[in-house]
Structure 1
Amino acid sequence: MKSISLLLAAMAISMVSFSQVKSDYNKDADFSKYKTYTFAGWQEDSEKQINQLDKDRIQKAIRSEFDERGMEFVESDGDAIITLFIVFDQKTSTTAYTNYNGGMGYGGRWGWGYGGMGSSTTTYSESDYIEGTLVIDMYDSETKDLQWQGIITSTVKENPKKREKTIPKKIRKLMKQYPGNN
């Protein structure tokens, strides 16, 4: 029973770690002054990292979240400049499960016992997955100072239909960290 509890705890921890959100911001910044924003684009060579459909999905989700915060997208000269950076890592997860079968024997009332036969079997399994990290940086267009940075790390869904649904959810989760929410 202990091994099942440990396995479930390990699985719960690993699931949480695949959707980590972190952010930091300039505590002196007045985020209410940002009424418009401009996308400055993606990192160089991002087309080698992510396809155009997923880039569009991410940008659309970000635009939707900024729109909800009263910020308007403009092609140029926004109050804030948004840059996007993405990194993918191929990962392997390993899980183990031990099944113990108790044997014959006898034991005392207080937990001591003698002899007996028993066996245990440990099964290991490995699975490969892709972990993606998206970094959103927001700069003040006048000072060029970084005002907010949001980072989300998550597993990448292989099925494009699932990515279509999960990308906006993950961006929404990240944008909850945006200081202009208050």
Structure 2
Amino acid sequence: MKNYFKVLSIFIICIIFSNTLKAQITYDYDKDADFTQFKTYSFGGWQDDCDKLINDLDKKRILQSFKSEFTQRDMDYVLGDADVVVTLFLVIDEKTSTTAYSNYMGTGMGYGPGFRGGFYGGYYRPAWGWGGGYSTTTYTEDDYRVGTFVVDIYDAKSKKLVWQGVSQKTINENASKRSKTIPKGVSKLMKNYPIKPIKK
């Protein structure tokens, strides 16, 4: 079971931060909040279940990536009282997709002479005809996992949520290059934060 969670943690990090698959990014924030007043931040920790889903090395990579993003926005990390508190957690959903494949077989078209009769006598006319056929439909079901990475930022004074970013992806089992893909994935998620990085 321990090995299962270790392997699963690799899968989760890859699906969220891999460059090979496009993540679905959504976000929301308090339009009335003054984000320019937030100068310090702290991490409120991970969801309890995350210890089973992600290892300490990848946690460190994610935290360092967020620290870099906040530093670029002129915000300082503090251990004590901060202007905002950042919480992180992961959610894994098991899903099933159904695909239908249809084939139409036996279709044919014929051409030949024919005689058409009528009230005023018959006449010769070529005749067209369609042959019979049938269709078959095959259904296949595939199970897959969808990982969701959620970032919540709270105003420490009011205790209210002021910004939320969500990255969702289908699991990708390629576990390589996480040291590069994690910072890029976090940067993509933080692009929607109201305060943009300071250009140097």
1:20 aligns with 2:24: yes
Q: Is the Cα–Cα contact under 8 Å of residues 49 and 87 in structure 1 kept in the other structure?
A: no
Partner of 1:97: 101
Q: CA deviation at 1:61?
A: 2.6
TM-score under structure 2 normalisation?
Answer: 0.66
Q: Is the Cα–Cα contact under 8 Å of residues 91 and 129 in structure 1 kept in the other structure?
A: yes
Q: CA deviation at 1:142?
A: 2.4
CA distance in 2, matches of 1:94, 1:165: 34
Share of identical aligned residues, percent? 52
- Indicate the structure with greater helix content: 1
CA distance in 2, matches of 1:121, 1:129: 26
Distance 1:115 1:141, change over 3 A: same
Q: CA deviation at 1:176?
A: 1.8
Partner of 1:43: 47
**Equivalent residue runs for 1:3-152 within 5 Å:** 19-101=23-105, 103-106=107-110, 114-152=129-167
CA distance in 1, matches of 2:160, 2:189: 21
Encode CA deviations 1:111-160: one digit per residue, 9 max, x unaligned: xx743244545444433322111211111222222211112221232232
Structure 2: unaligned runs, 5 residues or longer: 1-21, 112-127
Code of the aligned partner of 2:75: M
Deviates more, 1:71-80 or 1:133-142: 71-80
Aligned length: 160
Higher Rg:
2
TM-score under structure 1 normalisation?
Answer: 0.72
Encode CA deviations 1:69-101: one digit per residue, 9 max, x unaligned: 222222332221101121111222232333445
Q: Is the Cα–Cα contact under 8 Å of residues 157 and 163 in structure 1 kept in the other structure?
A: no
CA distance in 2, matches of 1:106, 1:62: 69
1:157 aligns with 2:157: no
Q: Is the Cα–Cα contact under 8 Å of residues 133 and 151 in structure 1 kept in the other structure?
A: yes
Distance 1:61 1:121, change over 3 A: farther
Distance 1:33 1:62, change over 3 A: same
Deviates more, 1:55-64 or 1:136-145: 55-64
SS of residue matched to 1:115: strand
Q: Which has the higher contact order (CA 8 A, sep 6+)?
A: 2
CA distance in 2, matches of 1:53, 1:98: 47
Alignment RMSD (CA, Å):
2.7
Structure 1: unaligned runs, 5 residues or longer: 1-17, 108-112
Q: CA deviation at 1:46?
A: 1.8
Distance 1:114 1:168, change over 3 A: farther
